Structure 1
Amino acid sequence: MTETIQTAFDRLASDLRNIVQDHPIVFLLSPGNWGDSIIREGAEQFFLHYGFKYHTVIAKDVMKKRTTMEAEIAKSGHPAPVVVCNGNGAFCGHYDTPQITAQLTQHFQTAVMLPSTIDMDLSQLTFAPEMHFFVRDRFESQAQLPDAPFCHDMAFFLKLVAPEPRKEVGYFLRQDREAPKGLVVPRGNFDVSKKGRIYTPIQGFVDAISPYKTVHTNRLHIGIVATLLGRETYIYANDYFKIRAIFDSSISPFFPNATFNTVFVPPKVRKRFFS
């Protein structure tokens, strides 16, 4: 982590401590893919580093009635724990995560949303009585919530190491609902984020990316992992401002090995000539 990024996390820890005080944390994981697990891992390392007491609850377990929020509150050992929600990019029109998150925070007096992208009017949702948001970009999300403090995506708290890369170029492009229209992916493309969930350990994710000297992706957390590993990283836009805004807020100022482009242009396929 660069000193400036570390300073931002120090400030986040101070803000969170002022909110939480001596209450334990119920760490809520909303539905997500393997890339969201990178955020989760960064958040958990953050809690451990700064000495926050917490236990984790998977939102899907509550929705599927495998547990209840009442049981999780009791498990905390405190009558009024604070729910802290994992940061994400789901506060947009693509997902039902905002509704699920709002509903589950209502079991608590105080709730915190770790640094997230916000691309919707939150006034239509009912959260905990004391709801605190942090945003992970200084642009559209900050404009949507002017009073919300900025901090970098929790993935930037990670210290990642991997062997030196031996392969030349890896393509990790998404083709789902956040993919830009008309995207053409090259042969050998591997959308690794789909291969795990928010609770999947991250080592396999890192191991899929780290062998490549150069990485092309329109997945935010593939781009962040490749950048943190020091790879030559080309990050492309998704279908809304999320990636570009985070690139400008947290990658461009600190990591010269990463480049942002609006449109991915697939490599030309070499013609084979047979005699």
Structure 2
Amino acid sequence: MFERLRAEGQIVHYFPNPGNAGDALIMLAAVRLFSKYRVPYVIEKTLVGFNPAGKVVVYGGGGNLGSESSPAAEFLTHCNSKSSLSVLLPHTVTGCEQLLRSLGPGTVLYCREVPSYQHVVAHAGGCEIALAEDLALQLDAEEILTRSPPFSVAGRLLRRLFSDLANRPGRQALLPKGPTVSYFKDELLRTRTLYRGDCLICMRSDHERTPTPVPYGNWDLPARIPFAYEDVRSAEWACHTLLTRVKHYREVRTNRLHVTIAAALLGKSVRMYANSYYKNRAVFEFSLRHRFPCVQWEDS
């Protein structure tokens, strides 16, 4: 997909997918692949005021295309039939049938597992469709860990504080919402202990959580790591922080896809569980089962 972008001979306008530290892994993989394939790019922060006419536009991978009002859907609607090429990097896709039918031949959708691919094939209009693995699987985890983190502890805490101050009506937050005091507590206590131990339990606490009770000692790690999605240095820090935390454990039990991927890249023993819909199992079957023997699927 990146060779094709290079062949276009234009600057790529890249819209990262907003989210948590898992999305930071995807963003860092994307910008490194842009560099590897010598694709010139600029990171765009918002669709407001952006004119896609004649441009090559790319939306970051992830699981964001699940409703017509999602940022990924807004991107496709805004750029459809206007840009010279619109690309959705490897994504999980659910619903959005009306949007899919409207997409023309200038749009390319990459699906990161088979059920999404089948869904898009069944409902898409004239767009191109392809299967591709989640971009985070392209990262070299050990190489990331050898680099010094781009922010000091004090610096990232101040970034979080200023983010919360900026997070008010009419103002775009730089980092995900969340109580600053809680983040200070996590950072100061958990950084001191480094949370070394035998097993990291990381179950989702957001809208993709399952009805299964969260076990004692759960640490929903990606949700606790600030990530400014328009900032490459922030993505580097979020990835370094996530990988550093995971590296201290022998075993990881999680229903977070990108915690699974981070742990697998580090060679950890992983027990992977379902999230609230098919995404985790589908990515496991398509990308993880045969490549990472250290990752085992758990049905309950």
- 2:112 aligned partner: 136
Aligned partner of 2:40 among 28, 40, 53: 53
Aligned residues: 234
Cα 1:169–1:94 shift into 2, 3 Å: farther
| Greater helix content | 2
Find the aligned partners of 2:200 and 2:119 in 1 and give their Cα distance.
35
Q: 1:219: Cα distance to partner?
A: 0.7
Structure 1 residue 158 corresponds to structure 2 residue 139: yes
- Per mean C-alpha deviation after superposition, the further-off stretch among 165-174 and 185-194 is 165-174
Q: TM-score, normalised by structure 1?
A: 0.77
Structure 1, residues 134-159: CA drift from partner, whole Å, max 9, x if none? 1111x211211336111110001100
Offset at residue 224 of structure 1 (A): 0.3
Secondary structure at 1:117 match in 2: strand
The answer to whether 1:14 aligns with 2:3 is yes
- Residue 93 (structure 1) shift: 4.5
Query: Quick check: 1:142–1:150 contact (8 Å CA) kept in 2?
Result: yes
For 1:224, which of 257, 261, 278 is the aligned residue? Answer: 261
- The alignment partner of 1:102 has SS state of helix
Whole-angstrom distance in 2 between the partners of 1:198 and 1:251? 28
- Cα 1:193–1:166 change in 2 (3 A) is closer
Instruction: Report the CA distance between 1:127 and its aligned residue.
Output: 5.5
Q: Indicate the residue corresponding to 2:50 in structure 1.
A: 69
Instruction: Specify the alignment match of 1:197 in structure 2.
Output: 227
CA–CA distance in 1 between the matches of 2:292 and 2:68?
A: 30
Task: Give the secondary-structure state (helix, strand or coil) at the position aligned to 2:33.
Answer: helix
Partner residue in 2 for 1:29: 16
Q: Distance in 2 between matches of 1:35 and 1:215?
A: 15
Give the 3 Å change call, closer, same or farther, for CA 101–94 of structure 1 in structure 2: closer
Query: What residue ranges of structure 1 are gaps of 5+ in the alignment?
Result: 1-11, 74-78, 264-275
Q: In the TM superposition, what are the counterparts of 1:1-275 in structure 2 within 5 Å?
A: 12-18=1-7, 21-59=8-46, 62-63=47-48, 68-70=49-51, 80-93=54-67, 96-106=70-80, 108-124=83-99, 130-137=106-113, 139-146=114-121, 148-161=129-142, 162=145, 167-180=197-210, 182-195=211-224, 196-197=226-227, 199=229, 200-201=234-235, 202-263=239-300
Runs of 4 or more above 6 Å deviation? none
C-alpha contact 2:68 2:99 (8 A) present in aligned 1: no
Superposed CA RMSD: 2.4
1:176 offset after TM fit, Å? 1.3
